[in-house]
Amino acid sequence: MSRSEACSTKSYEGQMLPLDSTQESASMTSSRYNGFELLIFDWDGTIVDSLSKIAACTQASLRDVGLPPADDEKIRRSIGLGLRETVEAFCPDCTDDDFDAIVEAYRKRWFSDFSRKSTVFPGVRETLEELSRRQYLLAVATAKGRQGLNLELEASGLEPLFVASRTVDEALAKPNPQMLLDLMDETGTTPDQTVMIGDTPHDLQMALNARTVGIGVTTGTYDSPELEEYDPVVVLTGVAELVPWMDSR
């Protein structure tokens, strides 16, 4: 039985899974950090500088369907959740018809106007290349759909560096641990060999739920104190700091 199959449906439905007293926190001992094998990265706000484009696309989509604009900060802070949760964060009174219209308008707008405009953060490409050279397994866990991720992986030139990926088209949305559980199953790794790197509390809560180590980066909307509430082993200013931090362990 796979790790994801072993988790009951009830445990998935809970989303915010607490650490029980028999489980060691991923940040308790430094001796485990030398055993990293699988490094899983969020995409938007972690690998690529795309949050302002996502917010702009969302605002354009709301105009397209005749709805009033939303608060940009609410949009940015909802990035990384599932589609339903994201829309509800900035449009809590939306009907099901509104939701369907916004999602369809967003997809059209993104692929026509925004999908190839995201840029990789400085130093990220070199960091991923170095980690790959050191034979770490690199993967992506993202709230993007499969088509969107594939387009950006190809456009960025980063696709060859990743051995696996999961999107909301194949797994339950963050902070549910299914993306991480599936990636560990696919790569034959265990939670204590796995690190989740991301810019949101959703990423770090997902790491806690999957019993993996979490690392926060402040290249998104959230600052260090906000991310530290989710027990990451460290909060870095960006992915480009990852190799020096690992070398210092």
- 100 carries an active-site annotation: no
Beta-sheet strands, E only, within the chain? 38-41, 48-49, 119-120, 137-141, 164-166, 194-198, 213-217, 234-236
DSSP annotation string for 94-116: --HHHHHHHHHHHHHHIIIIITT
Sign of CA dihedral 198, 204, 210, 214: positive
- 113 carries an active-site annotation: no
Give how far Cα 243 sits from Cα of 38, 39, 123, Å: 14, 12, 11
Name the catalytic one among 20, 44, 64, 97: 44
Name the catalytic one among 42, 49, 182, 231: 42
CA-to-CA distance for 56 and 52, rounded, in angstroms? 6
Q: Is 135 exposed, middle or buried (0-12, 13-18, 19+ CB in 10 A)?
A: exposed
Q: Which residues are catalytic?
A: 42, 44
